[in-house]
Structures are given as structure tokens and as C-alpha cells.
A = this chain, B = another copy of it.
Amino acid sequence: MSDRIEQQLAFLREAEMLKSVTRATPIHDASRPENSAEHSWSLALYALTLADQAEPGVDITRVIKMLLLHDLVEIDVGDVPIHSQEGSAHGSAEIAAQEAAAAERIFGLLPEDQRAEFHALWAEFEAAETPSARFAKSLDRAQPVLLNHQSGGGSWIDYDVHWDQLQSRVGDKIALGAPGLWPVIRARISAWFEARGLI
């Protein structure tokens, strides 16, 4: 038991590093970039709050676990902004390979049973094939949209994002796992793009 708890605490100590990984989205008042640890908290709270937006077959507890763990690989790889390099960097084979190695290292700090469990949750999220993973992915796309809007534009300005890019890179993916959520978000944010001639 002693070794077990030492391994668990080593993992939790390593996880603290996620607070230094910054994202393209600013926080609510645009005073600084959001970091991936607080982003993960937001997503878990989204899952808890928007549970009734989930499709049949979604296990909300599993979604929350995935969202708590999903960005830990960024401790090694950093966050890859969805709108960077014209939307091509996110999900590239090179980044995916780096993230897979990071998952091996970071979840490898845990006792064997938890290593397997946490790694499987992360892999399920990445594959986005189960209803729970698709819902989790949709929330991971939705929160930055609403936070960009709340903060005055955020990474949409930095990356010169037009409406059709937002629709294809983000909207279509939110709609995959949370079909009722995207129309509500779209109604909130479209005026921002219209006012700037980006629709």
C-alpha cells in the first residue's frame, strides 16, 4: 500500500504542471490566457451542468473522468490551438504520436490498475467513438467558443477566424455529440461575426 500511494502522489505531483500549459483562449475578462488545468475544470462543470444535453448511452461520470484527464498529455506536448496553421495542426499524426508517448509517461507514474484505467479513459476520449467520448469532445469544443465570446473575441481575432471556419472546425463537431447545444451557441455568437463582416 505504501508503494501504491507513493505512485499516486507522484502522478498528482506531475499533474500540477498542467497549470503552466497555456491555451489560445483568454479567460473571461481577457486579462490572461486560460490554462489547461482550469479549462479541464470548466469542462467537468459543463458535463455536470449540461448532462441533459447528452445523447442516450452517455455515462456522465465517465465523461467527467475523461475531461479531468484529457489534457494531461499537454504537460509534454503543449496545447495545439484548434485555429492554428489554418486548422491543420490540431489532430495531425505528428502531434498524435507525441501525445501517445506523453500518455505512456504520465499515466505510467500510476499503479498498474490505475495506469490501465486512466490510459483507457484518455484513449476513449481521443478516439471519440463511444457516446460518452463524443459528448466529452463536444463540450471540449463548446467551452472555448463561449469563453472566446465572453472575453470579446479571443483566439478568433488572433487567428482571423471566419464563420465558415468556425462552423467546420468547431460547430460541426459540437453538433456530433451535443446536437441540441450547437444551435443555442450559434444563436449567441453569430452577431459577433456578422458585426465584423466575417459571415
Contacts and interface: CB of A to CB of B under 8 A. Distances in A.
A109 B108 CA distance: 41
Interface residues of A, number: 50
A11 B34 CA distance: 19
Contact of A114 (B20, B38, B49, B184): B49
Given A37-B38, A180-B5, A68 B50 contact: no
Q: Is the interface of A mostly helix, strand, loop or mixed?
A: helix
B49 A8 contact: yes
Contacts of A9: 146, 184, 188
A71 to B, nearest CB: 10
A120 to B, nearest CB: 13
Interface of A: 1-2, 4-6, 8-9, 11-13, 15-20, 27-29, 31, 34-35, 37-38, 40-42, 44-46, 48-50, 52-53, 61, 64-65, 68-69, 110, 114, 143, 146-147, 150, 180-181, 184, 188
